A and B are shown apart, each in its own frame.
Chain A
Amino acid sequence: MDEPLLDINNLKVYYPIFKGSLFKREKVNIKAVDGIDLKIRQGEVIGLVGESGCGKTTVARAIMCLTKLNSGSVILEGEDLCKLNSKELKRKRPEFQMIFQDPFASLNPRMTVFKILSEPLLYHKLAGKTELTGILSNLLKEVGLSPRDMGKYPHEFSGGQLQRIAIARALSLQPKLIIADEPVSALDVSIRSQILNLLIRLIRDRSLTMLFISHDLSVIRHISDRVAVMYLGRIVESGSNERIYSHPAHPYTHALLSAVPVPDPDKEKSRKRIILKGEPPSPINPPSMCTFHPRCPYVRDKCSTITPEFEPIQEGHMVACHFPLSS
């Protein structure tokens, strides 16, 4: 097997918070990401799925070097991103770019589209001022906008169009890896399919590698080759798209899939739902051993005494569970 493009090893990100009174402060760690291994091969789209607060976005921020790691490494093409100094990081930056969730917040309202899109190119000296207009009009056409939009400000666009601009900005540096953090969650149903189709087309045409983060299982199903399911800062199951959706092995994945509403009245009414009890526990004080055991419908004694290893149960299908569900 060839070398992965991105190799994340034992990634841990803890956020310190302070509890107690002013004089008797106690430092506690929120274990946002608690030991994650993930490999992304060239040309692959990995879907990272999980509920709010499970650490998906922290993983994205850690890869982008936007937050400090407590331990672990993020290796992009043989270079550990966390060990680079700021100058080296600047050189490496064009190779990995991010698309954020909310286009209204991620685009500066006081800049024109031209300014927004040209800034990264000029900063990294990847284009001269004379060729900019040409590059940008091609870019805008590629994401389905018109070159005439270049002089406009963000408020003149709708949410879907803004997300197209954000995608164009991420693509402008010809990155090898794109981290997309919930890129369609803020959009309306009819717009969501437009942006999803655009992303799929770009992935195909430019043979992009992407980490696609979402809480929406149907979107992940649609776009990704492989899927990783997160729960409380850890990956509990990963495998090929087909495998995860047809034969989920971790009880959490199973419950998650059964909870997704399907737009089909007959199936909805006849379907058996696994309703999980309670809510995800706080990452400040996560349950010991298997973090899912307090909510797991199939819990046994072993689950609260021994931490399950993240092990393959089949070629390419990894699960962190003592008693994986057989299909």
Chain B
Amino acid sequence: MALLEVRNLKTYFYTRYGISRAVDDISFDIQKGETVGIVGESGSGKSVSCYSLLRLIAVPPGRIESGRAIFNGTDLLSCAQRELRKIRGNAISMVFQDSMSSLNPYLTIGLQLTEHLLLHKGISKFEAREKAISSLLEVGIQDPESRINQYPHQLSGGMRQRVMIAMALITGPLLLIADEPTTALDVTIQAQIIDLINDLKKKKDMSVIFITHDLGVIAGISDHVLVMYGGKIMESGETRDVYYKPIHPYTSALLKSIPSVEQKDKELYVIPGHPPEGFEDIKGCVFASRCEYVQDKCMVTIPELMEVSNRHYSSCLRIQEGALLDVLKEGDS
């Protein structure tokens, strides 16, 4: 059985400009010990979908319209707040993108690290402190005994991100949600953090949801990939399948449009137009207006995510009827 089962999740935002369908009917599973990468451009709904799971959406303007998210037998979306609070930061924890604004500048690292423990595990302050020190050591922070008394501004960006990871892992979660944890960091530091998350994941046998816009990062870290666009899942499957045999025009176009350090002088593929802002009332496929293989039916029928080959899903109507498969493969090679 899957560790987390998300079904038909819809999160809408009611703003004065209209209804924004940030997450529009998505379903996915997270298996135990698996790393799932969610990739998409800004506004594609990748963060909102994970925030919705922990009900971290501001209500209003946001509202979780429908859906279920079964985690260890509890529906995260409908359970009581009290029950949810026991799970949040305990069995499911999160690492955010911007460590400077997610750490409290007034409190020492130590206080922020032990807060979860005191709340969830009911241990003494002394024990919590010992545990905080060992967790800092685990994420590769030198001299944790003195670091623990420091404030966030005294640490560098990479170090603060390590503290965030230590904080998320201190309660021994089953699922870690990492929302663009390396986006604000330099490449050499990014490599360190990715390595760290990979190591800890193996050691603790937890599942990880890794959200990013960087297809390169996902390629190295995840077992399974979800490609999101306009609040919907375009394609999902094993990482190798998605990269080498994309079965959605968006994934294939995205892969062709990124510059690589490995080759030069290849004209970049360009996806015309720009991503939807979420307020448009789109009747058919959200990608149809930018798709080079668009047909009339794409404009009027909302496609469902369907299994095309083994554990490899696509929400493209033309793929589902058996067309395009060869075209997309050729385009990639």
Q: Which residues of chain A are within 8 angstroms of B216 by Cβ–Cβ distance?
A: 260-263, 268
User: B299 within 8 Å of A by Cβ?
Assistant: no
A269 contacts chain B at the CB level, 8 A cutoff: yes
Tell me, yes or no, whether A72 is within 8 Å of chain B by CB. Answer: no
Prevailing SS type, chain B contact patch: helix
What's the Cα separation between A273 and B198 when bound, in Å? Answer: 14
**A61 interface residue (CB < 8 Å to B):** no
A160-B264 contact, Cβ under 8 Å, with A188-B213, A218-B258, A259-B190 = no
Known A-B contacts A189-B213, A265-B239; the reply to A215 vs B187 at CB < 8 A is yes
A219 at the interface (CB under 8 A from B): yes
Counting contact residues on chain B (CB < 8 A from A), the size range is 35 or more
B268 touches A193 (CB 8 A): yes
**Contact flag A265-B267 (CB < 8 Å), given A215-B187, A259-B190, A279-B156:** no
B188–A197 touching, CB < 8 Å: no
Interface of chain A, helix or strand or loop or mixed?
helix
Q: Which residue of B lies closest to A184 (CB)?
A: B259
Q: Within the assembled complex, what's the spacing in Å between the Cα atoms of A82 and B279?
A: 50
- B191: A residues at CB distance < 8 A: 258-259, 261, 273, 275-276
Known contacts A193-B257, A260-B261, A273-B191; decide if A265 and B270 are in contact (CB<8 Å): no
State whether B271 touches A193 (Cβ < 8 A): yes
Among A51, A259, A273, chain B packs the most CB atoms within 10 A around the CB of A259
* Residues in chain A near residue B218, CB distance under 8 A: 263
Q: Which residues, 135 to 171 on B, are CB-close (under 8 Å) to A? A: 156-159
Residue among A158, A189, A255, A260 with the highest chain B CB neighbour number at 10 A: A189
- Give A222 to B262 CA distance when docked, in angstroms: 9
- Contact indicator per residue, chain B 289-308, by CB within 8 Å of chain A (1) or not (0): 00000000000000000000
Which residues of chain A from 6 to 22 have any CB-CB distance to chain B below 8 Å in the complex?
Answer: none
What 0/1 readout, one digit per residue, does chain A (255-292) give for beta carbons within 8 Å of chain B? 11111111111111100010110011000000000000
Using known A-B contacts A193-B269, A273-B191, determine if residue A279 contacts B219 with beta carbons closer than 8 Å.
no
Distance A177 CA – B138 CA, assembled complex (angstroms): 50
Cβ of A275: which chain B residues have Cβ within 8 Å of it? 188, 191-192, 195
Instruction: List 14 contacting pairs A-B, 8 Å CB cutoff, sorted by A.
Output: A52-B186, A160-B274, A193-B257, A196-B259, A218-B260, A221-B259, A222-B264, A222-B268, A257-B261, A262-B220, A262-B260, A263-B260, A268-B216, A279-B158
Binding site for A on B (CB under 8 A): 41-42, 156-159, 186-192, 194-195, 213-220, 239-240, 243-244, 253-255, 257-262, 264, 267-272, 274-275
Residues of chain A whose beta carbon lies under 8 Å from any beta carbon of chain B? 51-52, 158, 160-161, 188-194, 196-197, 215, 217-219, 221-222, 241-242, 245, 255-269, 273, 275-276, 279-280
